[in-house]
Amino acid sequence: MKAHSRTTRLAEWDRTYLWHPFTQMQEWEREDPVIIERGRGPYLIDTLGRKYLDGVSSLWVNLHGHRHPRLDRAIRNQLRKIAHSTLLGLSNPPAIQLARALIGVAPPGLTRVFYSDDGSTAVEVALKMAVQYWQQRIPPAGHKQTFVHLGLAYHGDTVGAMSVGSMELFQKRFDGLRFPTIAADPPYCYRCPLGLTYPACRMACLDPIERVLKERHQEIAGLIIEPLVQAAAGMITAPPGYLTRIRELCNKYQVLLIADEVATGFGRTGRMFACDHEGVTPDLMAISKGLTGGYLPLAATLTTEEIYRAFLGDHAEWKTFFHGHSYTGNPLGCAVALANLEVFRKERTLTRMRGCLKALNRLLRPLSTLAHVGEIRQRGYMVGLELVKDRGSREPYPITDRVGHRVAMEARQRGLLIRPLGNVLVLMPPLVTKVNELTRMVSILHESVLTVTEA
């Protein structure tokens, strides 16, 4: 009874005082919220004691499960020393040690780490670095300030990140704030913009990108891409070799390649970074989400020595990168991020995952026969199930039907928490999830899709 009255009071305060992200609050105020207060491994527990499988890693951030002993201990140990001090004019051991450790696991050729707070800010840093680099390199390249990005791209919600995105539903109202960029068709093979079929197409979607780079490279500072998986677009997976070709085109036309590994980094695709699958080193790489194992907000932008050295000079030359955040290099965040990398190493996370990834692929196959599952896209632990009204014609459900949302609500009743992207169901479990837990997750998804789409 006590738990119920406490939950009722918290729900009341939530509806009265809180404003939730990406949430229609008029609907929220009519619902009884699930209020999470504890977690253990791949499970979340609410204030009523109900247990749920965390099917989206608490929005793609948790890696090794909730309350991992090594990560808990890292925060406690750091708290005995200091929670925060600035990185402006000072430094701190965790920030230094983490920078060294990140360079040790990053694609070869990335040598410098610039800290910020979240994925959006890591992208903003990369965009600004790219523009300033071209002005200060020797010889200077002049007015290279335009960016190329893929259609359906999502790189964050700050103004610069929105400008290199194509999620019109989120961004249309802010068109007056966004700076001009160049959008190119994404490699969305299930709904190919060119009406072609892979692999017979030979990745023809790359041809328009090359034309743009050839014609406008003198004004293009960089091309930004989510390597291998466009996550927020609906887990759209690029065909093999696509990323390699993008790297080659950027080299050919002297355009910086910016890899947004915010969602794909830290084991999500089965390798430490998505770029590792094709041996690609970007010029700038944005990371966040899994950086601290899902414990604290922290982000970083990694870059090459060549780009870093373009910012060196006498004080009066004003070559400094005038950008920073109050919590840049926060010791608490850096300490737990360092422990996160230690877990990867000591628990051999990437090796241990391999059997689970094969099992997940096997478990998902039966869902591909369901009448309203158009396509299942998987890259490592990043999974998207695209629901369609008609499988033959690939006709999508009207967005007003809210099919994805209804399936998520059904799954919640069965003990699985997921958050859909429109008609695409997303499954992105913590890397620690065992085969029996994956089996339960996929089984609940299967039952929930059938219940909603066959009703």
What CA–CA distance (Å, rounded) separates 300 from 113?
Answer: 6
The answer to whether the pTM exceeds 0.85 is yes
Give the SS3 label for residue 24: coil
pLDDT for position 1: 62
Amino acid at 197: T
CA distances from 404 to 24, 25, 373, 419 (A): 15, 18, 11, 8
- Give the Cα separation of 203 and 190 in Å (integer): 13
Identify the burial level of 178 via C-beta atoms within 10 angstroms of its C-beta, where 0-12 means exposed, 13-18 middle and 19 or more buried: middle
CA–CA gap between residue 293 and residue 288 (Å, rounded) = 10
Backbone angles phi, psi at 383, to 5 degrees: -130, 135
Q: Is 451 buried (19+), middle (13-18) or exposed (0-12) by CB count in 10 A?
A: middle
For 267, 306, 342, the CA distances from 345, given in Å and listed in that order, are 12, 29, 5
How many C-beta atoms surround the C-beta of residue 123 within 10 A? 29
Ordered mean pLDDT values, 10 residues apiece, the chain (455 residues): 90 97 95 96 97 98 98 98 97 98 98 98 98 94 94 96 91 92 97 94 97 97 98 97 98 98 98 98 98 98 98 96 96 98 98 97 97 98 98 95 97 98 97 98 98 91
Q: In this structure, are strands 146-150 and 220-225 parallel, antiparallel, or unpaired?
A: parallel
User: Cα–Cα distance between 273 and 102 in angstroms, integer?
Assistant: 11
Task: Tell me the torsion sign for CA atoms 195, 198, 204, 210.
Answer: positive
The H-assigned helical ranges of 81-150 are 93-105, 119-136
Cα–Cα distance for residue pair 258/285, rounded to 1 Å: 6
What is the 8-class DSSP label of residue 41? Answer: B
The secondary structure of residue 397, as a DSSP letter, is P
Angle at 376 between CA 261 and CA 374, to 5 degrees: 130
**Sole residue written with tokens 């050919």:** 252
pLDDT at 172: 87
Q: What gap in Å lies between CA 169 and CA 154, rounded to an integer?
A: 11
**Does residue 321 contact residue 132 with C-beta atoms inside 8 Å?**
yes
Instruction: Please return the burial class of 200, using the count of CB atoms within 10 Å of its CB with bins 0-12, 13-18 and 19+.
Output: exposed
d(CA 152, CA 134) in angstroms, rounded, equals: 27
Q: What residue type is assigned to position 156 of the chain?
A: G
CA-based angle 255:304:343, to the nearest 5?
A: 125
State the distance between the two ends of the chain, measured CA to CA, in whole angstroms.
35
Task: Tokens for 164, please give them.
Answer: 């290199």
- Rounded to whole angstroms, the Cα distance separating 242 from 82 reads 45
Tokens of 338: 């360092």
CA 203, 207, 208: angle at the middle one, nearest 5? 125
Q: Residue 140 carries which side chain, given as an amino acid letter?
A: P
Token pair of 51 as six digits? 């247990």
CA-based R_g, the chain, Å:
22
Written as one string, the DSSP assignment of 287-307 is E-GGGGTTSS--EEEEEEHHH
Domains in the chain and their CATH numbers? 34-64+351-453 (3.90.1150.10), 72-346 (3.40.640.10)
Tokens representing 52 are: 């749920």
As a whole number of angstroms, the distance between CA 354 and CA 200 comes to 30
- What is the C-alpha to C-alpha distance for residues 180 and 220, in angstroms, rounded to an integer? 11
